[in-house]
Structure formats: structure tokens, C-alpha cells
Amino acid sequence: AETKRRGIQGPEVIERYPYLAGGKPETLPGIDELARLTEDAVIVSTADPFHHGIGYGTPPEQSYMPHEGGLELARKTLEEGIALLAAGDYWGYNQHCVTAKSDARDAGQVFRYLRGPMQGAIRDLTYSDATELYNQPPPTWVATALFDWQVA
């Protein structure tokens, strides 16, 4: 609607949903085509990189409210994932995402494979409460982060 209001043409949007990279993004069907498509493109990816709390299977004694140690745990965990991707450790990142309960597992590996060596940083970190969504007791929440990736 905004491009129509301004009378301009928006960018071409090409959607891909990588799945089951399994630590080997280079073997995904269509990866060569995707590499060609993204040579001069902006890559945008969305994900919930850290799910935490009782509703996500974290034992109550290990569950933290966001502002009572939870966001600090999320930041530490996300920074571990950034370091794994920066190092090109796809399988390590795959396993990290299982532990972090991150749904960025496949997209993260593909993004790193397509762009090559990168350095990442968390620019913003907050959370979304999921207690009502899953009808679970608190704490049950998802970290929402804005990452900045720069080609190394």
C-alpha cells in the first residue's frame, strides 16, 4: 500500500523457506539457484531465536522471568549462536538452535553459507510473553532480537 501511495515500485521479493539444512546447507536442493539470486540482494530473515520457560519445557527451577535473569540468559545464548555462525560451524549452530529452542536453525545456516564470513551483533533484545498463547504458567516467553550482520 505504501508504494502505491508514493507512486513507486517496490523491490522484487523472492521467498524461500530453507528446511533441514542439518549442518550442511551446501547440500540443500536449490542452494545454487538461491546463491545466484542473492548475489546482489538484501537478505531478510525472521525467527524467534530463543524460546524459554515452562511452556517450552524448561524445568521450573531453571526458568527465569525476562527481567529476572532471563534476558541476560537469552543474550548469552544468542551471542554463542552468533559466534558459531561467524566461525562457519554449521553443525554446532544446528545443535545450538536445538538447545536454544530457536527456529532460526535452517535459515541461519543458509544465510551464513550464502554470505560467507560475517560478524554479528545484537542491536536490540526484548521479549514476547507467550503464557496466554500456550495457556501455560509464567515464565513462558520468546526472546525477540534484532541482529546486525556485516560481511567480514
Supply the pLDDT for residue 26: 97
Dist CA 7 CA 24 (whole Å): 43
pLDDT grade for 57, boundaries at 50, 70 and 90: very high
The amino acid sitting at 120 is G
Whether the predicted pLDDT of 112 surpasses 90: yes
pTM: 0.91
Average confidence (pLDDT) over 125-139: 97
Supply the pLDDT for residue 51: 98
Whether the predicted pLDDT of 32 surpasses 90: yes
The amino acid sitting at 129 is D
Mind giving me the DSSP string for 64-85?
A: --IIIIIHHHHHHHHHHHHHHH
Query: Which residue is associated with the grid cell 545484537?
Result: 122
pLDDT grade for 1, boundaries at 50, 70 and 90: confident
Whether the predicted pLDDT of 65 surpasses 90: yes
Identify the CA nearest to 51 among candidates 130, 149, 121: 130
Torsion angles phi and psi, residue 127, rounded to 5: -150, 165
% pLDDT > 70, the chain? 100
Domain extents in the chain:
2-151
The amino acid sitting at 14 is I
Average confidence (pLDDT) over 46-60: 97
Residue-wise pLDDT tens digits, 87-111: 999 999 999 999 999 999 999 999 9
Identify the CA nearest to 76 among candidates 122, 117, 138: 122
Is the CB of residue 123 less than 8 Å from the CB of residue 90?
A: no
Identify the CA nearest to 54 among candidates 114, 138, 127, 121: 138
